[in-house]
Amino acid sequence: MLPDIEICRQTELLSINQVAKEFGLLEDEFQSLGKHKAKVSLASLKRTQGNKTGKLIFVTAITPTPLGEGKTVTTIGLSQGLKKIGLNAAACIRQPSMGPVFGVKGGAAGGGFSQVAPMEELNLHLTGDIHSVTAAHNLASAAIDARIYHEQRQGYDAFEQRTGLKALKIDPKNVVWKRVIDHNDRALRMITVGKNEHNKTINGFEREDGFDISAASELMAILALAEDLQDLRKRIGRIVVAYNLEGEPVTAEELDVAGAMTVSMKDAIEPTLMQTLEGVPTLIHAGPFANIAHGNSSIIADRVATHLADYTVTEGGFGSDMGFEKACNIKAQASKQAPDCAVIVATLRGLKANSGLYDLKPGQPIPESMFDADQKALEAGFENLKWHINNVSKYGVPAVVAINRFPQDSQQELDTLKAMIEALPMDVEVAISEAFGKGGDGAVELANKVVAQCDKESNFTPLYSVEDSLESKLSTIAEVGYGGSIVMSYKAQQQLTALKKHGFDNMAVCFAKTPMSITTDGSVKGAPKGFDVPIRELKLCAGAGFIYALSGSVMTMPGLPDKPAFMNLDIDEDGNIVGLS
């Protein structure tokens, strides 16, 4: 098969105007940006709010290998399969982060004949949303350090007199708003800012800081959860950026920066419209990294799509313990729109990886031997799939397992796996998906099964209610969501007390943990039970509406491997991009 970028280039795409019109958007409801991208105005939501709401299909997965199991391929392929069987379908995915594009993982446009196109536009700057989030985020950072500098240098009283502003008295040791950048840059995880020579203060006041990857910004979660521009503005105002010397929260509103941050994100709140290789309208909105962030596409994009299409396919990062958990407990509770069906992507390779019999490391190639038949490994890894099927059923969402076929897979082993799933005493359907190699044609069986499951009554139940206490919500995710139990660090316990004191008991909870295991230890494979879920730190995201629990050794800034993907990237003699996958 050709490389993804070649398949994409050889496909004749529709003009984005045609895609938008076929999707059902009116001429003044979108702005085309070049031939193949458009920004969708939120005005379309107002017009279509009376329309029937289409079905929302959520694509999740087993616990993945470091290279992923093809969730985006399946999402795009399924939307194309739905179109093939004559249905009105759309897809909603997240904007890829350039960190992984230049790092290990490469692009996130799907692959083979199930891609969002043009893939080089999707995988690079797209329409600048992540840059807008980054700019808004770091504006607040600059504002914090400038405020500390001016208040301390002038003295609080003099500052108040000179500026007419209230001195915020921010504690430089208690600034909780880190900076962000859309790169895998481990050297920025822990930094000292505001350094000076010769005892001067011209560069501000020295303090410890660090950068997260932009997708982990609270602003990205806010973008995904906001109802509209005014809601975005209000949420940004509620962000707690620091605590003052008396330990009281200081918000972006008090820093007088929330308006400017919103202005910076004014275009970002509009989803970007693109198309799949088979012309299915696809909305791109919000950011990835469901391990360390919210990691779901936006409520706005889902609403636009489900009010125009009968079937909208979306996805959340990693296994059902990660993106799907957050989609149900955070996003669906906020949007009041539950998934009508879940698709669990499994691969032979991924199940064998979950057997614990192979040693797979991020950044290293997956051994070809994993494609050989290995009944023992398959059976051991199958426990992981069962765990995810059971996990999805906890939320009352009907499910279909999509076995994402790799070209190297043997038909016999695929049939074995399918039979194993069919034999399960669970209400779950199964289909082999050949979306990568055959596009929508390879996903017709999957599409039919999904449509049948969507017709079933969904009894959606999130695991907790936001009214529950914070401890209860954290415990519920650990116990019911993962099968372990929380162990809070001293720091986290102190933070919990402070959060309750400041009235943030009614926030949802968002776990940051490794996606490579159901536990918080990436080396533990399969379907473990009764493990510890250590919480080392709690972070308040008052604007997004959740408490962010850092669990295990997960880091909110990835690093580059020793031979990063960027080394393959270049332009050729004709100015075309080469080496992007």
Instruction: Give the separation between CA 346 and CA 349, rounded to whole angstroms.
Output: 8
Cβ(253)–Cβ(182) under 8 Å? Answer: no
Q: Which of 155, 247, 259, 367 is the binder for a copy of itself (CB under 8 A)? A: 259
In the complex, minimum distance from the CB of residue 560 to a copy of itself, in angstroms, rounded to a whole number? 4
State which of positions 266-285 bind a copy of itself (CB under 8 A): 266-267
Radius of gyration of the chain from its Cα atoms, rounded to whole angstroms: 24
Q: Per CB under 8 A, does 29 bind a copy of itself?
A: no
Interface region with a copy of itself, contact rule CB under 8 A, candidates 370-378, 436-444, 497-505, 557-565: 557-565
In the complex, minimum distance from the CB of residue 377 to a copy of itself, in angstroms, rounded to a whole number? 27
Q: Which of 193, 366, 487, 498 is the binder for a copy of itself (CB under 8 A)? A: 193
In the complex, minimum distance from the CB of residue 104 to a copy of itself, in angstroms, rounded to a whole number? 11
Q: Per CB under 8 A, does 359 bind a copy of itself?
A: no
Q: What is the DSSP string of 195-254?
A: --STT--TT---EEE-EEEGGGSHHHHHHHH-SSHHHHHHHHHH-EEEEETTS-EEETTT
Find the length of the chain. Answer: 581
Which residues, in sequence order, are CB contacts of 414 under 8 Å at separation 6+? 348, 403, 405, 432
Q: Per CB under 8 A, does 260 bind a copy of itself?
A: yes
Q: Per CB under 8 A, does 262 bind a copy of itself?
A: yes
Binding mask 508-547 for a copy of itself (x = CB under 8 A): ----------------------------------------
**For a copy of itself, how many residues bind (rule: CB under 8 A)?**
80
In the complex, minimum distance from the CB of residue 497 to a copy of itself, in angstroms, rounded to a whole number? 24
Q: Per CB under 8 A, does 190 bind a copy of itself?
A: yes
Amino acid found at 199: N
Q: Per CB under 8 A, does 163 bind a copy of itself?
A: yes
Q: Specify binding-site residues.
A: 65-72
Instruction: Give the separation between CA 331 and CA 314, rounded to whole angstroms.
Output: 13
Binding mask 562-581 for a copy of itself (x = CB under 8 A): xxx-xx-xxx-x-x-x-xx-
SS3 category, 19? helix
Mapped to the 3 state alphabet, what secondary structure does 299-358 carry? Answer: HHHHHHHHCCCCEEEEEECCCHHHHHHHHHHHHHHHHCCCCCEEEEEECHHHHHHCCCCC
Q: Where are the alpha helices (DSSP H) in 37-155?
A: 43-48, 71-84, 98-102, 119-123, 129-154
In the complex, minimum distance from the CB of residue 67 to a copy of itself, in angstroms, rounded to a whole number? 19
Q: Per CB under 8 A, does 226 bind a copy of itself?
A: no
Q: Per CB under 8 A, does 86 bind a copy of itself?
A: no
Query: Which of residues 467 and 574 has its CB atom nearest to a copy of itself in the complex?
Result: 574
Q: Which of 131, 234, 394, 502 is the binder for a copy of itself (CB under 8 A)? A: 131
State which of positions 288-347 bind a copy of itself (CB under 8 A): none
Q: Per CB under 8 A, does 18 bind a copy of itself?
A: no
Interface region with a copy of itself, contact rule CB under 8 A, candidates 28-36, 62-70, 83-91, 368-376: 28-36
Q: Is the dihedral of CA 122, 512, 91, 446 positive or negative?
A: positive
Q: Per CB under 8 A, does 44 bind a copy of itself?
A: no
Q: Which of 1, 2, 26, 146 is the binder for a copy of itself (CB under 8 A)? A: 146
Half-sphere exposure of 66 (CA within 13 A, CB side): 18
State which of positions 391-450 bind a copy of itself (CB under 8 A): none
Q: With b meaning 16 or more CB within 10 Å and e meaning fewer, what string describes 87-115?
A: bbbbbbbbbbbbbbbbbbbbbbbbbbbbb
Cβ(344)–Cβ(85) under 8 Å? Answer: no
Residue whose pair of structure tokens reads 């005892």 in the numeric block = 199
Q: Specify binding-site residues for ATP.
A: 65-72
Q: Which of 85, 139, 466, 487 is the binder for a copy of itself (CB under 8 A)? A: 139
Interface region with a copy of itself, contact rule CB under 8 A, candidates 12-20, 145-153, 427-435, 457-465: 145-153
State which of positions 195-224 bind a copy of itself (CB under 8 A): 195-197, 202-205, 208-209
As to burial, measured by CB atoms within 10 angstroms (0-12 exposed, 13-18 middle, 19+ buried), residue 482 is: buried
